[in-house]
Structures are given as structure tokens and as C-alpha cells.
Amino acid sequence: MSDAVPEPEQESMTIIAFSGDLDKLWPTMILSSTAAATGMNVTVFFTFWGLFPLVREDVKHIGKDKLTRAMSQFNPPGFQRAHLSKLKFGGMGNKMMRQVASNEGLLPPEELFEMCQELDVNMWPCQMTMDLMGITPDMMVPGLGEPVGAATALQRMAKSEISLFI
């Protein structure tokens, strides 16, 4: 492209990943990887229940006291142990949904997440949720951005063509 022709400004999308449910992680990761692959600047702000998938799976205990440890038991670390929001089938729903996806060649959320990282999607952990739940940076997967607050997420959303709360 000639220097005289201005590059079109890059479009951007910002997703607030509030939910840690498996069936919500998929659209977040599908939209993010697809948008990034088509040239958009993508940012995902992981907050509340949505932060737990970013915790390393070998982390045994999340929480800084009895209360946060109790709450964290129902939010296991990592993408792989995320639960469906419905169709639980006595704990089997997660596995069944993953099998359905695998049969059709849809990557699991943790692999879409890695693809997103290769495509330079910004992964922003929510500082407030980390403080609330006693999650420290060393407990989280590598390749994330600096923890930020709502103000930073809002600034990014205000400049994004697409902002979604998932």
C-alpha cells in the first residue's frame, strides 16, 4: 500500500468475560479468536467468575481465608474444569459438551485461548476480583496483560466498535 493512502484504522472489540461457565467461555473465545484472525484489535477483561479459568490448573487452593476458599471450591481453576451453566447431567454435561465439540472439530476453549494469545488478543485480569478472591499473579497462566480495573476496561470499551458482556 502506498504511503499516501492512509491505513484504515483498526477496528476493535472488547469483551467483559464475567462468566466462568463452559458454555459462555466458548463464545468468548470463538468471537475473540475470529475477530483477531480477521484483523481486529481484541481485548478480554476477565472478571468475577470469569477470572477463574485464568488460574493455573495445578493451583491447589484459591483463597486467602475460609470464606474465599469455600467460594473458590465451586470455581475450580483453569478452563478444563469449567462447568456448563445448564444440562449438568449429574456432572457429565461438561464432558458431553466437550465430546460434541470434539466430534465436530470445534477446539476446546483452552486451545482457542492459546490461539487468541498467538493472535495477540489482550487478556486482562480484573485486579479487584484478584484482591477479592486472593488470587495472586503467580497463580495465573502466563501471557496475560497487567491486572487492570473497571476504569481501564471502560476506556477501552469506549474506543471499541464492539463491546459485549458475556
What DSSP character marks residue 162? Answer: E
* List 68, 80, 107, 144, residue binding a second copy (CB under 8 A): 68
Rounded alpha-carbon distances, angstroms, from residue 148 to 2, 11, 33: 38, 22, 21
Task: Judge whether 159 and 77 are in contact, CB under 8 Å.
Answer: no
120 near a second copy, judged by CB under 8 A: no
148 near a second copy, judged by CB under 8 A: no
122 near a second copy, judged by CB under 8 A: no
136 near a second copy, judged by CB under 8 A: no
**Cell numbers standing for residue 38:** 480477521
Q: Rounded distance, CA 32 to CA 12, Å? A: 10
Residues 6+ apart with CB under 8 A from 43: 12, 13, 14, 15, 121, 122, 124, 153, 156, 160
16 near a second copy, judged by CB under 8 A: yes
132 near a second copy, judged by CB under 8 A: yes
Return the number of the residue (67 or 143) whose C-beta is nearest a second copy.
67
Span from 1-9, 51-59, 115-123, 145-153 in contact with a second copy (CB under 8 A): 145-153
Footprint of a second copy on residues 85-114 (CB under 8 A)? Answer: 86-87, 89, 93, 96-97, 99-101, 103-104, 106
* Strand ranges, E, within 5-89: 12-17, 41-46
Return the number of the residue (99 or 136) whose C-beta is nearest a second copy.
99
Q: Rounded distance, CA 31 to CA 42, Å? A: 9
Contact footprint for a second copy (CB under 8 A)? 11, 13, 16, 18, 23-24, 26-27, 30-31, 34-35, 38, 40, 47-49, 65, 67-68, 70-71, 74-75, 86-87, 89, 93, 96-97, 99-101, 103-104, 106, 128, 131-133, 149-151, 153-155, 157-159, 161-166
